[in-house]
Amino acid sequence: MKNMNFLVAAYVAIWAIFCAYLFSVARRMATLQDDIRRLKEGGK
Amino acid sequence: MASESQSRTPSGAAISFPSVLVVFLLVATASYGALIQAPEEATMGLIQRIFYFHVSSAWTGFVAFFLVFIASIAYLRTRALKWDWLSVASAEVGVAFFTVVLVTGPIWAKPVWGIWWTWDARLTSSFLLWILFVSYLVLRTLVDEPERRAMVSAVFGIFAALDIPLVYFSIWWFRTQHPQPVIGAGGSLDGRMWRVLMLCWVATLGVMALLIRLRYRLEALRTEVDALRLEESRNAGRTM
């Protein structure tokens, strides 16, 4: 089980990078969808 | 008015549940293969298991950056904004995959080489490739006008992608600290390890496809917001 901590760190890092990226895309998408709703309501 | 802007700037289809499920199952199977099923490497032991997702992420990053190259050329030929959306989506996803490569590489290197990093040809050119595409994304934030942004980005995207062959072939062209190739001339990977590596690559390609599709939709939504804002400012101008 030598170097187990390095292996765990690598796999945690992979998941952390993709979760952070997904979170960033979801947040930007939610902001844009809010903008679209607001602009469409303002245009009526 | 809203439907008019929607028809001009289609937001693209959402990601379907079956495609997410297929990619999830692929990632789960590939993780099982990399962490449990693959045989333990004789000299490096457990730490070698980082290799499966490190290498497959690098190959997938290359594919994403190559898509930037193709989409940039297509934009310059057609001036259709959909190619610019594909280009920025691929660049951002490629940067995410190369971040994985640049983080997992040093985690593997420390126990094996005794150092986190060395400025050899493979590591330096990989870092340069990552910096080039981060610069591509920063560059896009500096230009407001969509057509001009797409044009400048396409030219820079083509230039940045020229580093891909340099990264890939650096271990053939230069004497490097980085391990020698696992495929092509000089490759000597165990058959079971090879199958797990291919499975991991298919899984990361699936993740890449989903992320690019999601990011493409984001860019389409952004264009829709820009169109609605333009319409709103025109309407405000008429009423004044």
ipTM: 0.91
pLDDT in tens, B3-13: 444 434 455 55
Judge whether residue B1 has pLDDT over 50: no
Q: Which residues contact B237 (CB under 8 A, 6 or more apart)?
A: none
Selected residues 1-44 of chain A with any CB under 8 Å from a CB in chain B: 1-4, 6-7, 9-11, 13-14, 17-18, 21-22, 25, 28-29, 32-33, 35-36, 39-40, 42-43
pLDDT value at position A43? 65
Instruction: Work out the pLDDT band at B50, boundaries 50, 70, 90.
Output: very high
Best of B102, B225, B229, B239 to substitute, by most chain A Cβ atoms within 10 angstroms, is: B225
CB A17 within 8 A of CB B96: yes
CB B54 within 8 A of CB B156: no
Amino acid at B79: R
Burial group, residue B17, by CB count within 10 angstroms (0-12, 13-18, 19+): exposed
* Consecutive H or E run containing A25: helix A4-43
Q: Report how many Cβ contacts below 8 Å link chain A to chain B.
A: 84
Query: Rounded CA gap, B161 and B138, in Å?
Result: 16
Q: What percent of chain B has pLDDT over 90?
A: 65
Best of B48, B221, B223, B238 to substitute, by most chain A Cβ atoms within 10 angstroms, is: B221
> B2: which chain A residues are within 8 Å (Cβ-Cβ)?
40, 43
Contacting A with CB below 8 Å, chain B residues are: 1-2, 31, 35, 45-47, 49-50, 53-54, 57, 96, 99-100, 103-104, 107-108, 110-111, 207, 211, 214-215, 217-218, 221-222, 224-225, 228-229, 231-232, 235
Q: What percent of chain B has pLDDT over 70?
A: 89
Sign of CA dihedral A32, A38, A39, A40: positive
pLDDT value at position B6? 40
Tokens 């271990």 sit on residue: B171
pLDDT in tens, B100-123: 999 999 999 999 889 999 898 889
In sequence order, what are the beta bridge partners of B41?
B45
The better pLDDT of the pair B8, B184 is held by B184
Q: Do B104 and A10 touch (CB under 8 A)?
A: yes
Judge whether residue B185 has pLDDT over 70: no
Query: Rounded CA gap, B54 and B60, in Å?
Result: 10
pLDDT value at position B232? 85
Q: What is the mean pLDDT of residues B159-163?
A: 92
Mean pLDDT, rounded, of chain B: 88
- What are the residue ranges of helices labelled H in chain B? 2-8, 17-32, 51-78, 81-113, 121-142, 146-161, 163-173, 191-239
pLDDT value at position B43? 83
Judge whether residue A12 has pLDDT over 70: yes
Q: Do B229 and A29 touch (CB under 8 A)?
A: no
Q: What is the mean pLDDT of residues A22-29?
A: 95
Q: What is the pTM of this model?
A: 0.88
Q: What is the dihedral of CA B132, B133, B134, B140, to 10 degrees?
A: 110
Q: What is the mean pLDDT of residues B217-224?
A: 92
SS3 B49: helix
Closest approach of chain A CAs to the CA of B155, in angstroms? 25
pLDDT in tens, B86-105: 999 999 999 999 999 999 99
Q: Do A14 and B100 touch (CB under 8 A)?
A: yes
pLDDT value at position B169? 82
Query: Structure tokens of B131?
Result: 């910096």
* Consecutive H or E run containing B19: helix B17-32
